[in-house]
Amino acid sequence: MSELELSLFRQRSHEALKQKARRGALFLRLAAGYVKAGRDRIEKDSDQRVQDALKLVFSKFAEFQSARQVHVWLRDEGIVLPVKSRNTEERGIIWRLPAYNTVHNILTNPIHAGAYAFGRTTSKVSVEEGRKRVRRGVRRPVAEWDVLLKDQHEGYITWEQFERNQRVIADNATGKGSATVKGAVRRGELLLAGLLRCGHCGRKLHVAYSGKIGRYNCYGARANHGTKRCISIGGLGTDAAVSAEVLRILRPLGIDAAVKALEAQATETSAAQDSSSWRCSRRGTRPPMPVDNTMPSILPIVWWPVSLSGARTRRCRLCIALKAISPQSWRGSQRRWASESVSS
């Protein structure tokens, strides 16, 4: 009888939590950037430094289109992010250099898009070697969340931006076994890696290099069925045709692109300087004088990285634009970057 009563109490308590969550009033733990404003309401953290740090993460993701590259850029620039302290004696916000999970959680948490969500994860039970194994924290698709209430509070981004960010992150997950994802931009001479499909079987074309010469190959049929590969085409001619078409379309937009590049350069420099000023103000020291390490541009519509110190981590955002504009300029920049790496 006592076990039955305990089970009933447990069910009633769980149902009470779900009822509160359906009203959007259940907050078990808040993400950095938000604080409670009453019993069933939250609002943005009034600390402007916290707000600026989160806005910087979203702006850099819109620029890099990669959570990993945002993480690398923040670490290279020495920019710290706010994290909720788990220590009961140090409640509140602590600042530290971000781990990858910190950046990923900021980008994938719907609370930053002004939405209330409950039931984003679940548990899966399986039997392994005759024993029950429970996997907790398994992420569920948005359509399977228990509660999703949009426009519940002020967000750092819109819901449309949040959905677009999730699609980009999903497309970058090449290691998840899906053949539909495009993949993040990677190193290499070829321009269309991850974007081309086989005209015979529809599978994604793989990239293979012999020295610096690359080819697009379809190995899907051979890997899955043991048959011959469908096609194998040279990369130089394909990239040259696509580059010429992209250059033709982008040429009228050269002035606007150059203006946006200057604005992006100023924004990135100010973000790094603001973070440095915050740290120096806490230590009572003077921030270092800014140094102009900008790289000379080859073409007016090509966007170069701001500083040589972070050039290697920011090549991914250059490769598509630069290779599309001029493959010769891209190969020249690769050789120059290699010489700079050796000299440094």
**265 and 333 within one domain:** yes
Express as a percent the part of the chain with pLDDT over 90: 22
Indicate if 170 and 239 belong to the same structural domain.
no
8 by Cβ neighbours in 10 Å (0-12 / 13-18 / 19+) ranks as: exposed
Q: Identify whether residues 207 and 197 lie together within a single domain.
A: yes
pLDDT at 330: 47
Same domain, 165 and 52: yes
- Is the overall model pTM greater than 0.85, yes or no? no
CA dist 166 and 25 (Å) reads 25
- Contact at 8 Å (CB) between 229 and 215? no
What does the pLDDT average to over 294-315?
37
Tens of pLDDT, residue by residue over 89-121, are: 456 889 999 999 999 999 999 999 999 999 888
**Better pLDDT: 295 or 249:** 249
Percentage of the chain lying above the pLDDT 70 cut: 69
Q: Are residues 110 and 225 in the same domain?
A: no
Strands 42-44 and 34-36: antiparallel
Helix/strand/coil for 290? coil
> In a 10 Å sphere around its CB, with 0-12 CB exposed, 13-18 middle and 19+ buried, how is residue 129 labelled?
exposed
Domain hosting residue 336, numbered range? 252-343
Find the range with the poorest average confidence among 165-169, 227-231, 286-290.
Answer: 286-290
CATH of residue 104's domain is 3.90.1750.20
Residues 269 and 195 in one domain: no
Computed over every residue of the chain, the mean pLDDT equals: 75
Q: What pLDDT is recorded for position 179?
A: 54
pLDDT surpasses 50 at 327: no
Residue 304 has pLDDT above 80, yes or no: no
Comparing 71 with 138, the larger pLDDT belongs to 71
Question: Amino acid identity, residue 193?
Answer: A
Higher pLDDT, 30 or 286: 30
Which of 306, 308, 307, 305 is CA-nearest to residue 319?
Answer: 305
pLDDT of residue 221: 61
Lowest mean pLDDT among 155-159, 181-185, 308-312: 308-312
Range 252-260 contact pairs with CB under 8 angstroms and sequence separation of 24 or more: 253/301, 254/299, 254/300, 254/301, 255/300, 257/300, 257/301, 257/303, 258/300, 258/301, 260/303
Token output for 268: 């990135």
Pick the residue with more confidence: 105 or 272? 105
Q: Comparing C-alpha atoms, which of 303, 318, 304 is closest to residue 257? A: 303
User: CA-to-CA distance for 16 and 177, rounded, in angstroms?
Assistant: 39
On whether the CB atoms of residues 140 and 119 are closer than 8 A, the answer is yes
Same domain, yes or no: 167 and 31: yes
pLDDT at 294 over 70: no
* pLDDT in the model for residue 286: 52
Q: Are residues 82 and 97 in the same domain?
A: yes
Predicted confidence at residue 297, as pLDDT, reads 37
Give the Cα separation of 31 and 260 in Å (integer).
32
Closest by CA to 235, choosing from 253, 263, 262, 212, is 212
Mean pLDDT value across residues 64-84 = 92
pLDDT (average), residues 256-263: 74
* End residue of a domain, out of 233, 250, 267: 250
User: Which of 250, 268, 298 is the last residue in one of the domains?
Assistant: 250
Residue 284's pLDDT band (boundaries 50, 70, 90)? low
Residue with tokens 């793989």: 206
- pLDDT for 296 equals 37
The sign of the CA dihedral 222, 224, 230, 235 is negative
CA–CA distance, 280 with 115 (Å, rounded to integer):
35
Q: Are residues 199 and 161 in the same domain?
A: no
**Chain centroid to CA 33:** 18
Please tell me the predicted confidence (pLDDT) of residue 85: 82
- Return d(Cα 163, Cα 170) in angstroms, integer: 11
pLDDT given at position 280: 59
Structural domain count of the chain: 3
Residues 313, 191 within the same domain = no
- In angstroms, the Cα distances linking 158 to 164, 168, 264 are 10, 16, 21
